[in-house]
Amino acid sequence: MNNLKHTLWSGGWDSSFRVLQLLISAGEPMQPYYVYDHRRKSTSYEIEAIRRIIAGLQKEFPRAAALLQPVKIVNKSRLKKDAQTRQWYEELNRLYTLGIQYEWFARLSRQYGISDLELGIVRHTEEEIPQFNLDLERNIREVEDQYRLIDQPVLHGLRLFENFCFPVIRYSKDDMGTEARKLGFHHLLALSWYCYHPGKNGIPCGECKPCQIARISGYDHHFQPYSHKPVRKFHFPRFKKEGLLNLSP
């Protein structure tokens, strides 16, 4: 499949929107990647969200579900170290305090030979746009319906993003909700997960960064106690490099 899209899927709102949009609306085949970090407390919730969204797809949108390849889980601890991505990352991190996950994603794209890995960076309103997003947007061009880094970014470190596409960079979280409603998959999008520190009853903590963003953006998951709580804890062998997500809970 040479038109296969490669998409990072964390189980969150932005990447889940992109997965559903590609499969249901664009009807394009897709290979999703979930990057596993053993230190992350919300992993089981994210995996549960992915499983539930796929189950919903298979039931309600079987033709779209058939376009989805098994989710590839990539263990970030087993990605090879890469001096070049480290240098780019450090250059950016000195300026912006950038999440380390972007360095993992860049290493993944290089080590898996993917030159168009879809990353869910979204649009911010003018009042709240972080400087990093502003500078990134200034160095992105649209070519054949894809948003990509320009060839000579002003900041050398932005080359960290040279293997990425930014399919939702013109969307706010609210825009995604509106489009999902229009296309009939909002209830699947509402199965997504964002909080880093879910409480015992499975309700988001309300305090971590994604929770704060969720409050500002006001997107609706219809949370109830235990409504998004995983059936069981997700385990991935610490020293395994990659694997395919088993869909049974």
Residues in contact with Zn ion by the rule CB under 5 A: 195, 204-205, 208, 211
Alpha carbon of 198 to those of 24, 34, 40, 134, 182: distances in Å? 30, 19, 11, 30, 30
What distance in Å separates the CA atoms of residue 133 and residue 130, rounded to the nearest whole number?
5
For residue 33, what are the β-bridge partners? 8, 72
* Minimum gap (Å) between residue 202 Cβ and Zn ion: 12
* Minimum gap (Å) between residue 194 Cβ and Zn ion: 7
* Minimum gap (Å) between residue 197 Cβ and Zn ion: 5
* Farthest-apart Cα atoms in the chain, separation: 49
Count the Cβ atoms, other than its own, within 10 Å of residue 230. Answer: 20
* Minimum gap (Å) between residue 45 Cβ and Zn ion: 10
* Minimum gap (Å) between residue 215 Cβ and Zn ion: 10
* Minimum gap (Å) between residue 195 Cβ and Zn ion: 3
Judged by beta carbon, residue 10 or residue 163, the one nearer Zn ion is 10
Strand spans (E) along the chain? 5-8, 30-36, 72-75, 117-118, 140-143, 146-149, 164-165, 242-244
What distance in Å separates the CA atoms of residue 26 and residue 22, rounded to the nearest whole number?
5
219 neighbors 181 (Cβ within 8 angstroms): no
- Taking the alpha carbons at both ends of the chain, their separation in whole angstroms is 29
Judged by beta carbon, residue 153 or residue 230, the one nearer Zn ion is 230
Structure tokens that stand for 151 in this block:
């060839």
3-state secondary structure of 50: helix
